[in-house]
Amino acid sequence: MIAFKVKSTVTYPNYQRLSEMISDRSIQESWQSKSEELEKQTPLERIEWAGQTFGNQLVMTTSFGIQSALMLHLATKVIPDIPVIFIDTGYLFPETYQFAEALKERFNLNLKTFTSKMTAAHQEAKYGKRWEDGPKGLEAYNLDNKVEPMNRALKELGAKAWLSGLRRVQSKSRKDLQIIDQQNKTVKIHPVLEMSERDVYYYFQKHDLPFHPLWDQGYVAVGDWHSTVPLEEGMSAEETRFGGEKRECGLHEVSGNADWQI
């Protein structure tokens, strides 16, 4: 089981940020070395390092999903006012919006909500239900509703680094992630990367944290209502999203646009 150390709130030293030099190849290579060092540290120590390194250029994301309280609890222990990016597609479950309000109040979140440039109704009128149009339709839907808003959020907030709650056990696409990775122009830090489901459960019990309300209805992951189903016998967790065609919604994949942040 992973040990946690409570750290005091971060104060930012006045020195040139490493993040200003991420385009330099030598600095990019240094992330691997630092990532190996951070493997030996606790999630809270990793968050503290990120805060000290990137200062006000550090953000985090939340989907207000099944286990989102984990990263929100950890990050706000160390950096109470960290900007928390929430991508609202307009297709989330009602329970997700209710959960978001509860966690926002509990952790006093500095929440930054971003949406598509086109409303859900306008999109359906113009394109139809793209999530039903196979991989290409789903990719286009995710680009407009998740990836583009996230890219815009990072730009508007001046972010160079992103705290993400990905864990290796969640899917095949995440099993080879490092504590520090770079996604296009953005440095990603994964503080809870090696936590198991048991680690998460015990952390929730210890700190009296809530799971998403749909957890009790068999959901092991929660995204848009039209692309998420409860876990049934014989299914893997990955098959509960996007009809089993893919696990990632695009936020954690390189966009392919060199001018974008992700």
Q: What is the pLDDT of residues 214-240, one digit of tens each?
A: 999 999 989 899 988 888 887 777 778
DSSP code, position 196:
-
Residue-level pLDDT at 87: 97
Label residue 79 by pLDDT band (50, 70, 90): very high
Rounded to 5 degrees, φ, ψ at 245 are -70, -30
SS percent in the chain: helix, strand, coil, step 5: 45, 10, 40
221 is catalytic: no
Please give the residue that has the higher pLDDT: either 176 or 85.
85
Residue-level pLDDT at 260: 81
* Tokens found for residue 241: 């999203």
Please give the residue that has the higher pLDDT: either 102 or 137.
102
Sign of torsion over alpha carbons 231, 228, 237, 72:
negative
Cα 142 versus chain centre, distance: 15
- Three-state secondary-structure class, residue 111: strand
83: β partners: 110
Nearest-CA neighbor of 166 among 145, 190, 183?
190
| Rounded-to-integer distance, Cα 199 and Cα 48, Å | 20
Q: Which helix (DSSP H) or strand (DSSP E) does residue 49 occupy?
A: helix 43-54
38-244: CATH homologous superfamily?
Answer: HUPs (3.40.50.620)
CA angle 198, 201, 203 (to 5 degrees): 110
What residues does each domain of the chain span? Answer: 38-244
Catalytic residue among 109, 249, 251, 262: 249
Label residue 9 by pLDDT band (50, 70, 90): low
Please give the residue that has the higher pLDDT: either 104 or 257.
104
Q: What is the pLDDT of residues 239-248, one digit of tens each?
A: 787 766 655 5
Nearest-CA neighbor of 262 among 182, 184, 195, 204?
184
Length of the chain: 262
| Rounded-to-integer distance, Cα 119 and Cα 125, Å | 10
**pTM for the predicted model, two decimal places:** 0.84
